[in-house]
Structure 1
Amino acid sequence: MSSTPPASASLPRARAALAVLGLVLVAILASAGPDLAQAPTPESSASEPPFALQLLSPGPTSVATHNQKQKPEAYTASIPDAAMRVRAGPLEVTGLARGLRSVALVVNGTWTSAVPGPDSRFTTQLDLSGAVNGPLVLDVYGWDTPPDNHDFKTALNLRVHLFVEGGRDASPAAERPPGHPAHGRTLVWSESFDTLSRKVWHAGPKPDGQEYGAASFLGYDDPTFDPYTIMGGFLRIRSQNRPGWADPAGYGRTWLTGHLSTGFPDGSVSGAFRKGYFEARMLLPAGPGAWPSFWLLDQHGIRNSVADGAVEIDVIEGYGHATTSYVATEHDWPPPSSRMEGYRRAQKNLTGLPDYSLAFHDYGVEITDDDVVFYFDGIEKFRAPLYRKATVSPFFMMLTLAMSQDWPITVPPAGYYDLWIDHVRVYR
């Protein structure tokens, strides 16, 4: 903000004091979390009001205070699992927009406006009668100007995942239509996540024991945190920030997350295939540092990567800072002792996609005798020759919400990121 320099020498000091007071209030609001809903509404300073945005119902959520006008970043807000469950149909939403004069709620591209009252609270109705079952993204935006006035200086927003019950089933049928890579094929392996079986999914670091990224991969029974939740036929993998956590491996990691694999450390597999069409239907998180993936590794590499290396196929590597593109890759990893001599990679950055943090999409790959073909929503995007095609072993599947060490990681108001998976299927 800019203003005409005052003539009085004491006025700058007064304004500086008010600015400091405003910063203190913002800090208090940021740490208040759901308790903000019970706190009295203070009178705002005219020059530096305390801005805050929170949902009370469904919720309460954590509080968003970051001004997105200057530097948009992750804004995921926390919401209790019980509060996120809503019914398909009319939904009343209430919230607190402190220091803001207009609010908009966005679901599936539909905007609903609200104006906060004198107590900073707002109430509006959302029509979820046409919503599908499962996770639903709700974005809430707030501005310090009246509706339709775009001369705002403060723009806050938060995102929550609601979970719709009693809506339509949007999960595609196993029999896919003509033109889809799975059409006319036989479904030979399927996971619909009604439960999470330890006989089907190994949880923890990669089955070969290798660690990567900026988060620790937890097993099922870690007393610190459980990243794996089954909800209404969907799997949620949560990556949570724990600043005070002492990384037992000594890497200094402060994120805890999940990694699931149909390959097990003893070299066995619950699902692995040399050829076929592999598909995962997922809703990916947004936010700098989030690194969700669906990927394959050849079974022989579980116990023999040190001696022989391995072939890896990354069906998708998503990056939370760029949710309209992702990377598809095939790697031919040489043995570690070769110091990367003979390493090969076929890779493409798939761009111009719809924002995959807003809806479920199908991420697939077809492996033939000779080729690897990558698909997004059933449409071919990239193909490459299959490495070691004469000797490569069957491929098992992995689902991961890692945190990337290659980009600065933003800790959102929620303190976590979520990856949702509807199903994993293999067709032959």
Structure 2
Amino acid sequence: MADAVPSPSNHMENCVQIDRRSLLGAGVAAAATNILSTRTAGAGSDRSIALASPVVTGAATVDAQGCVAYPDTIVRAGPAFVFAGTSSGEFKNIMISVPGVSPWGTCVQDGKGGWTCTMDLSSVRSGPLNCRVMAWYDDWIEKSVDLDFTLLIDNPGVTRADPPVPAPAAGMTPILIDDFDAMPDDSRWAFGERPDGSQWGSDAHFTTKDGDLAEVFQTPMPSVLRIRAVYDPNFKDPQGWGRKWRSGMLCTAHADGRPPVAAFRRGYVEMRAILPLGKGMWPSMWAFQLGPNERGMKSNPGTEIDPLEGYCQTPDPGKYALSSGAIEWTSAGKTGEVDGPRFKKNFDATSDWHVYGAAVDETSMVVYVDGVVTQTIRLPKSTSADKFFWMFDNTLGGGWPVTVPPARYTDMWIDYIRIYSAD
């Protein structure tokens, strides 16, 4: 379906509108349409590539490329770090891309289906490190088998310092600070549901507190949260929408009548994250207004603000489009006044940590990436004094075609979330 789209940029803008109508409107129809665009990568190629050390991964082939299965093994970085792997079929050139170290680390092939590459990883920070093996077979740089995997790096000499209070939050009151030193729990977060108890209209079913949260939320190393979107062809969608993905969403407002954990009308929110790599990924940091007495959801009208909607159009680093906007929702899920979407295109959101922030006041939202203003969004004139609750999720689709990677999962990483109120 993607090949039939004449203009990627126009397609993206259309998808934003299509998807947002489905969020509060006809979720069933939208989900059914999106499921048709999900394509599982096939198999059968005689060429494959796999990693054997420092961890053992699954294999990528010509017809099944991208994220392969990898173990949650923490490895120590050093000046002579050795990658080793196996291959089948003839490859003219094999290279490894390691963010912050080298985009083109040359591998030595032994002529017997083995290969190695030695790199200096002594400067790599502790945390997840998304790497790619590229094995070219038809030309030196044209046709390749790409294998994506994540290393969990332990490097005591290079760690992240505690972040200071963000400049846009100066003078504000912190109302939620989570460094994910422990798994998120029900006392600090709501999971999966809207404050009215229903689901959002995306291609992934968000797991709720009554489901298997450990499948979609993990802390495989200290102070790092992983939200994993899992593809399961046998999944029975509880909503009957035909979805085959499960994933996680953190929400600051509960559906059981408890007051929100963190909500503001004026304030600042910030997330440090590595976004998921894969065609059709759609991670988000966004907010909607609470209903009367800070319960449920505001309607007729209610305002949605989206400082970050990430669209991964192709399964390649550097191809993310970051979308920001504000939408007025009227009755029956229809849109009124809209500002956006506005895009920051060709952004590498998957190779390293980035800080995404949003400052909200009475009339506007200022969007930040790594401390730099990227967008200023006008709020709808109808935006009331009701507070915004916040959501952070790893989902996919939204009108985009989705390719299922060999691992049948894709990961989003969060270092911290901080929410400040100026109310």
TM class by shorter-chain length? 0.7 to 0.9
Partner SS for 2:66: coil
Checking the alignment, whether the CA contact within 8 Å between 1:101 and 1:115 is kept in structure 2 is no
Q: How does 1:98-113 map to 2 (within 5 A)?
A: 98-99=88-89, 100-109=91-100, 110=102, 111-113=104-106
Partner SS for 1:207: coil
Unaligned segments of structure 1, at least 5 residues: 1-25, 30-49, 68-72
1:288 aligns with 2:276: no
Runs of 4+ residues over 6 Å off in structure 1: none
Which residue of 369, 382, 385 maps to 1:392?
Answer: 385
Aligned AA for 2:237? Answer: D
Equivalent residue number for residue 76 of structure 1? 67
Computing the radius of gyration from Cα coordinates, the structure with the larger value is: 1
Equivalent residue number for residue 352 of structure 2? 359
Aligned AA for 2:149? Answer: V
Equivalent residue number for residue 122 of structure 1? 115
How many residues are matched? Answer: 366
> What's the TM-score once normalised by structure 1's chain length?
0.78
Aligned AA for 1:165? Answer: D
1:60 aligns with 2:56: yes
- Bigger relative contact order, structure 1 or 2 (CA pairs below 8 A, ≥6 apart): 2
Select the structure that is richer in strand: 2
Alignment partners' CA distance in 1, 2:251 and 2:411: 18
Equivalent residue number for residue 335 of structure 1? 331
Checking the alignment, whether the CA contact within 8 Å between 2:290 and 2:297 is kept in structure 1 is no
Alignment partners' CA distance in 2, 1:189 and 1:223: 24
Deviations 1:164-190 (A, max 9, x none): 1234223551234xxx43456554431
Equivalent residue number for residue 159 of structure 1? 148
Alignment partners' CA distance in 1, 2:299 and 2:43: 54
Checking the alignment, whether the CA contact within 8 Å between 2:291 and 2:299 is kept in structure 1 is no
Partner SS for 1:60: coil
1:191 aligns with 2:187: no
Alignment partners' CA distance in 1, 2:190 and 2:404: 28
Partner SS for 1:181: helix
Which residue of 308, 312, 320 maps to 1:320?
Answer: 312
Task: Give 1:390 deviation, angstroms.
Answer: 6.9
Q: Which is worse superposed, 398-407 or 166-175?
A: 166-175
Checking the alignment, whether the CA contact within 8 Å between 1:206 and 1:259 is kept in structure 2 is no
Which residue of 368, 373, 382 maps to 2:366?
Answer: 373
Which residue of 194, 201, 208 maps to 2:189?
Answer: 201
Checking the alignment, whether the CA contact within 8 Å between 1:325 and 1:353 is kept in structure 2 is yes
Alignment partners' CA distance in 2, 1:204 and 1:324: 24
1:215 aligns with 2:200: no
Aligned AA for 2:280? Answer: G
Q: Which is worse superposed, 229-238 or 307-316?
A: 307-316
RMSD between aligned residues: 2.6
Equivalent residue number for residue 16 of structure 1? none
Alignment partners' CA distance in 2, 1:295 and 1:224: 21
Which residue of 246, 265, 271 maps to 1:256?
Answer: 246
Residues 1:245 and 1:175: Cα distance change in structure 2 (over 3 Å): closer
Checking the alignment, whether the CA contact within 8 Å between 2:193 and 2:255 is kept in structure 1 is no
Equivalent residue number for residue 238 of structure 1? 228
Residues 1:188 and 1:264: Cα distance change in structure 2 (over 3 Å): closer
Alignment partners' CA distance in 1, 2:321 and 2:212: 36
Which residue of 330, 342, 346 maps to 2:339?
Answer: 346
Deviations 1:125-167 (A, max 9, x none): 232211112111111111237xxxx556641111111111234
Checking the alignment, whether the CA contact within 8 Å between 1:74 and 1:411 is kept in structure 2 is no
Task: Give 1:258 deviation, angstroms.
Answer: 0.8
Checking the alignment, whether the CA contact within 8 Å between 2:338 and 2:380 is kept in structure 1 is no
Aligned AA for 2:236? Answer: A
Percent same amino acid among aligned pairs?
Answer: 30
